[in-house]
Amino acid sequence: MQNVLVTGGAGFIGSNFVRYLLKQDPTVQVINFDVLTYAGSIENLKGLPDADRHTFIHDDIRDTDALADVFESFEIDTIVHFAAETHVDRSILGPAIFIESNILGTFNLLEVARKNWSGHSHQGQHAFRFHHISSDEVYGALRAEDPPVNEQHAYAPRSPYAASKASSDFLVRAYGHTYDLPITISNCSNNFGPFQFPEKLMPLMILNAMSGESLPIYGDGSQIRDWIYVDDHSAAVWAILQKGRVGETYNVAGDNQYTNKEIVEMICSLLDKMLPASSHSPHKQLITFVDDRPGHDFRYALDTSKITTDLGWHPHETLQSGLRKTIAWYLENEAWVSQIKQRPAYQEWIEENYLKRAEGG
């Protein structure tokens, strides 16, 4: 691995991965391609280790010419494809951009990769890799009593976001099968950690609780997600790049299944301890139950025995240890928090999503 193209590397997981990669591999060059949607930010890339090995390209995977330019300018041998629209609630309110970026954008990237990989076939199959980052949501919703799903489980996506990720997974597999493009895919559970845009459950609850605003739990909060600390996800992607078998899909999860209500209560009690002088304590009093998400998937749970057995990867953080680190990061990074909260995208989202929900509208 010499020149790694990371798409979406200014977003939450992508920026954590870029940091991880620069630390992990002392010679790698990272080409970070990101259009900087509301969820992406240059602020997420401040203070990168060994930043001269990182090149940022401000462009769009919907633009094939822009992608082709990157392959002309750099001898890309590895692609790690994070770029996507990622929020289920936004996909319900406006699905079109999810189709454009997640499906068509992935298609564009595959096409450019295919052309350039064939052009460099003298390097041999193992000198090139297209790693696609996907989600546990493609498998659809589970019931409480269902066992965790493995990589053979049928796809049954149920939100526009999940359907767009499932479509992109199928395209990536098709390119592997049809054109021998050396692909791998990882389907990961819910991530948490530093630099996550405060529209997703954990950062939204942490920031709202810190400033004494209400904590909106959808429905009755009984839905279950499996949480993974973001660095554990980065380590899994690294393991797949190093040791993963071409053509294979790997499930990645933290083995932390909790209901949304339990998660919010844990955040509240950690904040009570970490901010003993807060006038908002006990933070639990801020919890409000609001209108449910339409088509809300009840539970996701992944069987991760393939990646643990075949690649020796294991998550290191527990929910408690990762949550403590995450809350500490949001408390210590006031400048990041205030620039994010001042963004129109954040303010508009709060108005559009939560105020209406809270009013039952």
3-state SS, the chain, equals: CCEEEEECCCCHHHHHHHHHHHHHCCCCEEEEEECCCCCCCHHHHCCCCCHHHEEEEECCCCCHHHHHHHHHHCCCCEEEECCCCCCHHHHHHCCHHHHHHHHHHHHHHHHHHHHHHHHCHHHCHHHCEEEEEEEHHHHCCCCCCCCCECCCCCCCCCCHHHHHHHHHHHHHHHHHHHHCCCEEEEEECEEECCCCCCCCHHHHHHHHHHCCCCEEEECCCCCEEEEEEHHHHHHHHHHHHHHCCCCCEEEECCCCEEEHHHHHHHHHHHHHHHCCCCCCCCHHHHEEEECCCCCCCCECCECCHHHHHHHCCCCCCCHHHHHHHHHHHHHHCHHHHHHHHCCHHHHHHHHHHHHHHHCCC
What would the two tokens of residue 129 be?
């890799």
Rounded Cα distance, 265 and 284, in Å: 6
63 classed as catalytic: no
Given 89, 137, 169, 265, the catalytic residue: 137
Is 40 an interacting residue with respect to ligand NAD (CB under 6 A)?
yes
Q: Give the one entry of ligand NAD, ligand TYD, none that residue 223 binds, where binding means its C-beta sits below a cut-off of 5 to 8 angstroms depending on kind.
A: ligand TYD
Q: Give the one entry of ligand NAD, ligand TYD, none that residue 39 binds, where binding means its C-beta sits below a cut-off of 5 to 8 angstroms depending on kind.
A: ligand NAD
Nearest CB to ligand NAD, comparing residues 12 and 117: 12
Interface positions, 306-345, toward ligand NAD (CB under 6 A): none
Applying CB under 6 A, the residues found at the interface with ligand TYD are: 87-88, 190, 200-201, 204, 216-218, 223, 225, 260, 293
161 classed as catalytic: yes
As measured in angstroms, the least distance from the Cβ of 361 to ligand NAD is: 26
Interface positions, 94-133, toward ligand NAD (CB under 6 A): 101, 105, 133
Looking at 34, 226, 297, 317, which residue binds ligand NAD (CB under 6 A)?
A: 34
Q: Which stretch binds ligand NAD (CB under 6 A): 35-43, 243-251, 338-346, 350-358?
A: 35-43
Interface positions, 57-96, toward ligand NAD (CB under 6 A): 60-62, 82-86
Is 53 an interacting residue with respect to ligand NAD (CB under 6 A)?
no
Given 161, 229, 330, 346, the catalytic residue: 161
As measured in angstroms, the least distance from the Cβ of 27 to ligand NAD is: 25
As measured in angstroms, the least distance from the Cβ of 225 to ligand TYD is: 5
Rounded Cα distance, 197 and 220, in Å: 24
Nearest CB to ligand TYD, comparing residues 248 and 262: 262
Q: Give the one entry of ligand TYD, ligand NAD, none that residue 167 binds, where binding means its C-beta sits below a cut-off of 5 to 8 angstroms depending on kind.
A: none
| Closest residue to ligand NAD, based on beta-carbon distance | 11
Show the binding pattern over residues 179-218: x = contacts ligand NAD (CB under 6 A), - = does not: ---------x-xx-----x---------------------
Rounded Cα distance, 13 and 326, in Å: 13
Closest CA to 237 of 2, 3, 6: 6
Q: For residue 242, what are the contacts with CB-CB under 8 A and spacing of at least 6? A: none
Q: Which stretch binds ligand NAD (CB under 6 A): 31-39, 115-123, 173-181, 342-350?
A: 31-39
Nearest CB to ligand TYD, comparing residues 84 and 217: 217
The residues binding ligand NAD (CB under 6 A) are: 7-8, 10-14, 34-37, 39-40, 60-62, 82-86, 101, 105, 133-135, 165, 188, 190-191, 197
Active site residues: 136-137, 161
